[in-house]
């Protein structure tokens, strides 16, 4: 691995799990965050902008990293939120930050394009939201794939159940038109809902252990934002646990050896309304003969991921136990 930190732009719909991904990225010495862009997703747009700024402030880097406001709605579909999972404001019950910090002066998609053009081959795009900003960036700059170093995406459900409908995962379901464009135009490293459930969940025992240890600012924040997700998982799935989709993706970027198995396949998204809206087709047996350019993370080291997360919460340094 190169000693130089990887330079990243993080595209987020900042609710609870996005905040933990941001904190992992910010506290890791292996990543350098150039900027954060906000995309329509989990909750009302203004809440997500403030949640991102608040998270950066908590990590002490709000003056160094700017938040750029991007797409306020999906390309075509009517927008629906996930407040039922993350609470109205996205950070659980009562936390509605009002930082007063300014946003960047250009649209998030323009920021992605500008930075990619100015730094060809240097930047990794980390996508933990619906893919509207990325699709808009592609519209302006069709050569984005060549201009970026890598593109990492949390989204879709590769040959398994989704979390919004049986067919679809939230990020792809919210803007399937954008997801389709992105998978067609970019080489993507994909962290899907399947690997999220299999390999990033924290059970009640782990969560109790986090809560029982002597509190840090970051661990108190995690406990606070986790309550609504735990309540939702209890009610919807009968399981007291949290899942860490966005933090899982960032952890893999920080320490690629957490990724135990991948497969590269042709992937496509059903953008039509109806039962299969947002369905991700991953052609594992190559029956379509389509271009294989999506690398799916199929197995992930849950135990080392948990230790990394814990080191982030309690030591401010996710690499300690690696």
- The distance of closest approach from Cβ of residue 43 to ligand RIB in the complex, given in angstroms and rounded to an integer, is 10
DSSP reduced 3-state for 68: strand
- Output the smallest distance, CB 299 to ligand RIB, in A: 19
The Cα 180–Cα 251 span in angstroms is: 25
Query: x-or-dash pattern for Ca ion, window 235-264, by CB under 5 A?
Result: -----------x------------------
269 binds, among Ca ion, ligand RIB, none (CB under 5 to 8 A by kind): none
Question: Considering beta carbons, is residue 128 or 158 the nearer one to Ca ion?
Answer: 128
State the binding partner of 177 from ligand RIB, Ca ion, none, CB within 5 to 8 A by kind: none
CB of 91 to ligand RIB, least distance (A): 12
From the CB of residue 100, how many other CB atoms can be counted at a distance below 10 Å?
A: 8
CB-nearer residue toward ligand RIB: 41 or 147: 41
Total residues contacting Ca ion (rule CB under 5 A)? 5
Least distance between Ca ion and beta carbon 198 (Å): 19
Residue 11 binds Ca ion (CB under 5 A): no
> Which CB, 163 or 266, lies closer to Ca ion?
163
**DSSP secondary structure letter of residue 6:** E
CA dihedral 15, 16, 19, 23 (to 10 degrees): 180
Closer residue to Ca ion (CB): 169 or 246:
246
Binder among 6, 9, 11, 18 for Ca ion (CB under 5 A): 18
**Could you write out the DSSP letters of every residue in 74-141?**
-SSSPP---HHHH-TTSSSSS------PPPPSS-HHHHHHHHHHHSTTTEEEEEES-SHHHHHHHHH-
Interacting positions 112-171 with Ca ion (CB under 5 A): 128-129
How far apart are CB 252 and ligand RIB at their closest, in Å?
14
Helices H / strands E in the chain, number of each: 13, 11
- Cα–Cα nearest to 154, from 31, 41, 317: 41
Q: How far is the CB of 249 from ligand RIB (least distance, A)?
A: 8
Q: Check: CB of residue 32 under 8 Å from CB of residue 6.
A: yes
Q: What letter would DSSP give residue 215?
A: P
**From the list Ca ion, ligand RIB, none, partner contacted by residue 170 (C-beta under 5 to 8 A by kind):** ligand RIB
What CA–CA distance (Å, rounded) separates 255 from 262? 15
193 binds, among ligand RIB, Ca ion, none (CB under 5 to 8 A by kind): ligand RIB
Give the nearer residue to ligand RIB in terms of CB position, either 41 or 70. Answer: 41
Residues 252 and 243: their CA atoms lie apart, in Å, by 15
Whole-angstrom distance, CA of residue 96 vs CA of residue 222: 15
Nearer to ligand RIB, 21 or 258 (CB): 21
Footprint of ligand RIB on this chain (CB under 6 A)?
A: 13, 15, 17-18, 41-42, 128-129, 154, 163, 169-171, 193, 245-246
DSSP-derived secondary structure for 130-178: -SHHHHHHHHH-TTHHHHSSEEEEE---TTS--SSBTTB-HHHHH-HHH
In the complex, the residues that contact Ca ion under the rule CB under 5 A are 13, 18, 128-129, 246
């Amino acid at each position: 691995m190169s000693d130089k930190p990887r330079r990243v732009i993080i595209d987020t719909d900042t609710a609870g799990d996005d905040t933990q991904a941001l904190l992992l990225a910010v506290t890791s010495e292996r990543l350098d965050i150039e900027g954060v862009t906000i995309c329509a997703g989990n909750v009302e747009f203004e809440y997500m902008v403030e949640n991102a700024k608040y998270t950066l402030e908590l990590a002490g880097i709000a003056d160094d990293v700017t938040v750029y406001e991007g797409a306020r709605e999906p390309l075509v579909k009517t927008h629906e939120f996930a407040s039922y999972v993350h609470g109205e404001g996205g950070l659980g019950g009562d936390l509605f930050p009002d930082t007063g910090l300014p946003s960047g002066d250009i649209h998030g998609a323009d920021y992605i394009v500008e930075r990619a053009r100015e730094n060809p081959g240097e930047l990794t795009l980390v996508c933990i939201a619906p893919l509207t900003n990325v699709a808009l960036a592609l519209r302006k700059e069709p050569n984005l794939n060549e201009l970026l170093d890598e593109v990492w995406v949390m989204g879709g459900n590769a040959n398994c159940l989704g979390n919004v409908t049986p067919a679809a995962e939230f990020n792809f379901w919210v803007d399937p038109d954008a997801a389709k464009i992105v998978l067609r135009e970019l080489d993507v490293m994909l962290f899907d809902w399947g690997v999220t459930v299999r390999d990033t969940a924290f059970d009640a025992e782990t969560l109790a252990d986090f809560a029982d240890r002597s509190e840090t600012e970051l661990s108190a924040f995690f406990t606070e934002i986790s309550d609504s997700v735990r309540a939702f998982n209890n009610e919807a799935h009968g399981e007291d646990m949290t899942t860490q989709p966005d933090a899982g993706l960032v952890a893999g970027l920080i320490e690629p050896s957490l990724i135990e198995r991948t497969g590269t396949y042709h992937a496509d998204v059903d953008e039509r309304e109806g039962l299969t809206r947002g369905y991700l087709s991953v052609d594992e047996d190559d029956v379509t003969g389509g271009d294989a350019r999506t690398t799916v993370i199929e197995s992930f080291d849950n135990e080392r991921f948990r230790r990394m997360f814990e080191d982030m919460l309690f030591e401010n340094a996710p690499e300690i136990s690696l």
